[in-house]
Amino acid sequence: MTPVVTVKNLTARYGENIVFEGVSFDIFKGEIFAIVGGNGCGKTTIFKCMTGLLKPSGGKILVSGIDPATEDEDKLKTLRKETGVLFQSSALFGSMTLYDNMALVLKEYTTLPSPVIDMIIKTKLGMVRLAGCENLLPSELSGGMKKRAGIARAMVMDPMVLFLDEPSAGLDPITSEEFDMLVKNINTGMGTTMIIITHQLESIFNIAHRVIMLDKDAKGIIAEGDPRELRKNSKDPRVTAFLGGGITRHSAGHEQAEAD
């Protein structure tokens, strides 16, 4: 298989502090690929490097054959058309309606007429169960609705690759599980390659086809593969402690019910 994303010998540092070094992995078309690990391991730094928000100290990244760190504006414009990003805070413009948030992207990168833009926006909002919400402001949405609006905006250009930064952060267990199902449905229905930064264990096991696990002390990858197989078979205590720790949403709800 040809990788959609290739990361080769990636190194990142802040001043003298090395976050990670020599990190390499490939992500293939149609995968839901999760980057996991404890606090300070470099998940967010890798996310910023892959989305072009941060230039790595060394190594190379190719997303759809384009280096996000390139200074070629034409290539960057092509890359922005082929990728979508859902930020942890959703990053919707608070003074703009959902319609205007989404139309901004289409008007910037296409010459589509207004009726087509209208159709695309309504279709994408319907896909995330926000039909009829195009005239609402972000302040009028719940946390879960903001996440869904954010993913609708990220999908408005039908990107080949979708980056999601802590998509379940701040959501209650039921809303988080619903969001996981939305992610799976988009992946299955549209074949979108998805790269997720998360520490939510149940999301990892529910939706990820493959993961890499970063470790702060190792300054790199300590495990790669199917998260379910890693949880069962890894001989590294750091991996089993992370993937086997915590309480799942269902068990947490069960325990709470018993306590009540």
pLDDT, one tens digit per residue, over 71-121 is 788 888 888 889 999 988 778 898 999 999 999 989 988 999 999 999 999
Q: Read off the pTM.
A: 0.87
Q: Tell me: pLDDT of 143 over 70.
A: yes
Alpha-carbon distance of 200 to 73, in angstroms, equals 36
* Mean pLDDT value of segment 166-178: 84
* Mean pLDDT value of segment 52-69: 92
At 98 the three-state DSSP class reads helix
- The H-assigned helical ranges of 59-142 are 73-82, 98-109, 114-127
Question: For residue 228, which amino acid is it?
Answer: R
Domain 3-259 classification at class level = alpha beta
* C-alpha Rg value of the chain to the nearest Å: 19
Which DSSP letter does residue 52 get? T
Helix (H) / strand (E) element for 36: namely strand 32-37
pLDDT averaged over every residue in the chain = 88
Quick one: tokens of 31?
């995968």
Q: How confident is the model at residue 251 (pLDDT cuts 50, 70, 90)?
A: very low
Percentage of the chain beyond pLDDT 90 is: 66
Q: Report the relative pairing of strands 83-86 and 58-63 from DSSP bridges.
A: unpaired
What is the reported pLDDT for 60? 93
According to DSSP, the residues that pair with 85 across neighbouring strands are 163
Question: For residue 186, which amino acid is it?
Answer: I
161-185 b/e with 16+ CB inside 10 Å = b? bbbbbbbbeebebebbbbbbebbee
**Do the beta carbons of residue 159 and residue 83 sit within 8 Å?**
yes
* Mean pLDDT value of segment 250-255: 38
What is the reported pLDDT for 21? 94
Nearest to 188 by CA among 207, 166, 202, 210: 207
Q: How distant, in Å, are the alpha carbons of 33, 93, 99, 213 from that of 125? A: 24, 16, 9, 33
pLDDT, one tens digit per residue, over 187-213 is 999 999 999 998 888 889 989 999 999
Q: Tell me: pLDDT of 167 over 70.
A: yes
According to DSSP, the residues that pair with 25 across neighbouring strands are 7
What is the reported pLDDT for 245? 59
What is the reported pLDDT for 244? 84
pLDDT, one tens digit per residue, over 147-161 is 899 999 999 999 999
**Do the beta carbons of residue 131 and residue 145 sit within 8 Å?**
no
Percentage of the chain beyond pLDDT 70 is: 94
pLDDT, one tens digit per residue, over 7-42 is 999 999 998 899 999 999 999 999 999 999 988 899
